[in-house]
Structure 1
């Protein structure tokens, strides 16, 4: 009984972490829906992008390129480039999730910044908690993101500037809440500081999502030195 209660408490804790990320991130889908319709996409096309592509940075990039008069090939290429980091996340999570069949397809679709971030933040609780956090966050973001994409697309004309809602600040705030408890030693704080500095420096130069890929180099260098 005691063990079951402990497992239940762990699940509630992980679920709380997952929802604290999934809700603010998913709600930002309204901004995408509004931006897509404002850029010339139909409501159906906006929703299809969220269902099939399901990668915030890539989706905004596709809409931006197409709205700016770019070709479909340019939009697809840009979106694919920004999606490279999801492939890196997949390599990190594959041995932990150990999926096959339809579950592997579902896992691939929800392998994003948020699901990977929450999963890794549960590392001290074991692989079971990591898997639970991955799926709870990934599915949560997917549902909320698609729901709010529809809401944003339908209400595009009355929403105005989505950035005025402050949703863009809610997303990094949710990630900060996950990262902060893990900065317990000098090495972790140094990695976070260097990553933040590099990301801020590259943001005006590179497209959305690419600075995050660049910060992976810091983790690789620090990991190599530690070994």
Structure 2
């Protein structure tokens, strides 16, 4: 519970940045709050607002948000097998399945603590994120030009914060660099929001190719067989 509460407070406070940036990007306070209530995925929300702020179409903004939200479906399969929610809890659990609730739950070993951690972190982040989204949206109306406060870089900083911990291998870093180069090249030639989609396609293609080229593990030799012989290796 302590871990879940601490994560909820830290993440919820970050909602101020989203609320202010969303209003400064052209959304109304009501639209900003509805986005947090219904979408409720920080990375996807920043992607949506970033495309809108750049003048991109709503379809491009929704596509960018959906691509980042795919990870939540993967989380959902893992947590469904771990927690086995039933009835109305299944619907609520799906909505509060985010990075923070997954990390809090899977970081525990006792099944009861896993369930408790998931619900405390998930519901806690939901309540505080929406509360501070409203605070940020109301403050954003009075802040003027977002560039004066550095809020135009908030979405970029959020993406970097999500990406950086995942660059733990040479392959991951190489894919990130390739996607960054493709994005920079694409920006002058395509509408806002499309470079994100192009980079996602490149990342998926590189991941698929890497999976195909990864060698299969060698089969174990039969008991008593000579591993140096062709028959034993087979």
TM-score, length-scaled by structure 1: 0.68
Q: Tell me which residue corresponds to 1:161.
A: 150
Give matches, 1:10-25, under 5 Å. Answer: 15-25=1-11
Alignment of structure 1 residues 25-64 onto 2, 5 Å: 25-64=11-50
Structure 2 CA distance for aligned equivalents of residues 129 and 194 of structure 1: 35
Q: 1:100 aligns with which of 82, 86, 89?
A: 86
Structure-2 separation of matches of 1:64 and 1:50 = 15
Instruction: String of CA shifts for 1:45-81, please: whole Å, max 9, x gaps.
Output: 0000000000011111111112222221111111111
Task: Tell me if structure 2 keeps the 8 A contact 1:31–1:163.
Answer: no
Q: Number of matched residues?
A: 190
Determine the C-alpha separation between the residues in 2 that align with 1:138 and 1:152: 21
Counterparts of 1:1-227 in structure 2, within 5 Å, are: 15-122=1-108, 125-156=109-140, 157-158=142-143, 160-161=149-150, 197=173, 201=177, 204=180, 207=196
Q: Hey, what's the Cα distance between the residues in 1 that align with 2:79 and 2:88?
A: 16
Name the CA shift for 1:202/1:47 in 2 (closer, same or farther; >3 Å). farther
Specify whether residues 82 and 198 from structure 1 end up closer, same or farther in structure 2 by C-alpha distance, changes over 3 A only: same
Distance 1:163 1:111, change over 3 A: same
Residue 164 (structure 1) shift? 9.8
- Structure 2 Cα separation of the partners of residues 118 and 199 of structure 1: 28
CA distance in 2, matches of 1:203, 1:47: 32
Whether contact under 8 Å (2:4, 2:104) holds in the other structure is yes
The whole-number CA distance in structure 2 between the counterparts of 1:61 and 1:141 is: 19
The answer on whether the counterparts of 1:55 and 1:83 sit within 8 Å (CA) in structure 2 is yes
Aligned to 2:192: none
SS in 1 for 2:55: coil
Q: CA deviation at 1:101?
A: 2.1
Structure 1 residues 111 and 203 mapped into 2: Cα distance closer, same or farther (>3 Å)?
farther
Which structure has the larger Rg? 2
Distance apart, 1:20 and its partner CA: 2.0
Q: CA RMSD of the aligned region, Å?
A: 3.8
Q: 5+ residue gaps in structure 2?
A: 184-195, 211-215, 218-234
